[in-house]
């Protein structure tokens, strides 16, 4: 069974066309059900496709004259949405010409364009950026928000929990995802008023949401593997994510330096190489690539700008799985379980 085709912003990312096309080709080799709409400079895309006949046979090219730069402000990018590869890829989802869009370009611009074109789902005030983090458990951790919203109230946090749980059911297969709120302590008395209010609402509605909720989690416990979804405002979530990624690089660099420090250490590396290769694979961000904008009327996935072809292929695989498992419909169904009372939490009045 073939899936709705996936629009690829072929011009996004640090290396643009080459890596995006190689990544899509790798994804196509792994799953021959995938079909693509490749958006960007037509001549450059055609040239890149010469080395990938299998991808070429499953793709259509949509020419885009412009590219969103990494330094461009979202407001500037929005004005060129009709001519840029990023904007046209998102518009393809809006028009029904593609089931989802993938871009490795400017995150702020991608969020702004996606929100304007696709709008938020009924019952969702703000979309959230979610990604998978590696853990010591059997499954990856779903974490959101990772930077789309620097300030969030209790209502937003509850909505993020609903969306994160729906995503987690797809990637973990758990019927009752274990959900926690990121906080400075695990005690019930810790945290801001919004965190306290969100926790109270999630405790009261956990059964309706089909989640297991047990309060708060601290950042140092994110990788233990005993939680499936961690919810945060975008400011704290982004800091936590960067700290996790930085720690992973620190550990990898420290091991590399230690193994190169002496002849005995180099011999030790040869002996322990299977274990270190497993560690490297587990910590490599390319193996967990593909952040999702949850809460929109369409699937939009953000790839790391520095992702390799393998990373792009994994982002495509995440996208296809969300289409196959009907993520949007699942979130809508979970929201319906709570009725139309807005979770009993009124949004904050504008200041």
In tens, the pLDDT along 180-227 reads 999 998 888 888 999 999 999 999 988 888 899 989 999 888 888 889
Give the pLDDT score at 264: 61
Q: Can you point out the beta strands (E) in the chain? A: 6-9, 36-40, 59-63, 100-103, 128-133, 141-144, 178-182, 212-217, 229-231, 291-294, 299-302
- Is 128-285+333-344 in the same CATH topology as 6-118? yes
Q: How far is CA 34 from CA 25, 55, 113, 258, in A?
A: 10, 9, 25, 43
Q: Are the CB atoms for 167 and 130 separated by under 8 Å?
A: yes
Give the pLDDT score at 178: 94
Give the pLDDT score at 340: 45
How would you list the strands of the sheet with 291-294, edge to edge? 59-63, 36-40, 6-9, 100-103, 299-302, 291-294, 128-133, 141-144, 229-231, 178-182, 212-217
Give the pLDDT score at 261: 67
pLDDT tens-digit profile of 138-169?
888 899 988 888 889 999 999 999 999 999 99
**250 falls in which pLDDT band (50, 70, 90)?**
confident
Q: Which of 128, 157, 135 is nearest to 220 (CA)?
A: 135
Percent of the chain with pLDDT over 90: 41
Domain over 6-118 is classified CATH 3.40.718.10: yes
Q: Are the CB atoms for 29 and 36 separated by under 8 Å?
A: no
The residue behind tokens 């490749």 is: 38
Residue 351 confidence (pLDDT) above 70 = no
Comparing 135 with 339, the larger pLDDT belongs to 135
Give the pLDDT score at 350: 45
Mean pLDDT of the chain: 84
Domain boundaries, the chain: 6-118, 128-285+333-344
**308 falls in which pLDDT band (50, 70, 90)?**
confident
For residue 287, the surrounding DSSP H or E stretch is none
pLDDT tens-digit profile of 17-69?
999 999 999 998 888 788 999 999 999 999 999 999 989 989 999 999 899 98
Give the pLDDT score at 274: 55
Give the pLDDT score at 238: 85
Residue 96 confidence (pLDDT) above 70 = yes
**Fold observed for domain 128-285+333-344:** Isopropylmalate Dehydrogenase (3.40.718)
Token readout for 138 is: 């059997």
pTM, whole model, 2 decimals? 0.84
Q: Which of 62, 96, 235, 85 is nearest to 156 (CA)?
A: 235
Residue 9 confidence (pLDDT) above 90 = yes
Strand pairing category for 141-144 and 128-133? antiparallel
Give the pLDDT score at 195: 92
- ∠ at Cα 229 (183, 202), nearest 5°? 70
């Amino acid at each position: 069974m073939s899936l709705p085709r996936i629009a690829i912003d072929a011009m996004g990312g640090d290396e643009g066309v080459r890596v995006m096309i190689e990544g899509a080709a790798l994804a196509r080799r792994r799953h021959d059900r995938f079909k693509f709409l490749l958006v960007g400079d037509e001549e450059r895309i055609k040239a890149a496709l010469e080395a990938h006949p299998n991808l070429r046979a499953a793709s259509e090219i949509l020419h885009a004259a412009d590219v969103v730069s990494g330094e461009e402000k979202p407001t500037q990018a929005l004005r060129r949405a009709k001519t840029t590869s990023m904007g046209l890829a998102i518009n393809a989802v809006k028009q029904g010409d593609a089931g989802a869009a993938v871009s490795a370009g400017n995150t702020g611009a991608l969020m702004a364009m996606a929100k304007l074109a696709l709008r938020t789902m009924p019952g969702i005030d703000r979309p959230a950026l979610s990604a998978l983090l590696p853990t010591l458990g059997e499954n990856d951790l779903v974490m959101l928000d990772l930077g789309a919203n620097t300030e969030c109230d209790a209502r937003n946090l509850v909505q993020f929990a609903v969306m994160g749980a729906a995503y987690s059911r797809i990637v973990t297969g758990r019927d009752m995802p274990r959900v926690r709120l990121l906080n400075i302590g695990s005690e019930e008395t810790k945290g801001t008023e919004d965190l306290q209010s969100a926790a109270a609402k999630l405790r009261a509605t956990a059964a309706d949401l089909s989640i297991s909720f047990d309060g708060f989690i601290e950042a140092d416990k994110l990788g233990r593997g005993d939680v499936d979804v961690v919810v945060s405002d975008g400011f704290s979530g982004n800091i936590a994510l960067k700290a996790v990624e930085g720690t992973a690089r620190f550990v990898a660099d420290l091991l590399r330096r230690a193994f190169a420090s002496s002849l005995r250490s180099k011999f030790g590396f040869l002996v322990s190489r299977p274990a270190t290769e497993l560690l490297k694979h587990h910590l490599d961000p390319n193996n967990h690539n593909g952040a999702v904008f949850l809460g929109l009327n369409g699937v939009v996935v953000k790839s790391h700008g520095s992702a390799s072809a393998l990373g792009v292929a994994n982002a495509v695989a995440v996208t296809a799985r969300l289409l196959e498992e009907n993520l949007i419909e699942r979130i809508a169904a979970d929201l319906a379980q709570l009725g139309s009372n807005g979770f009993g939490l009124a949004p904050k009045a504008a200041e």
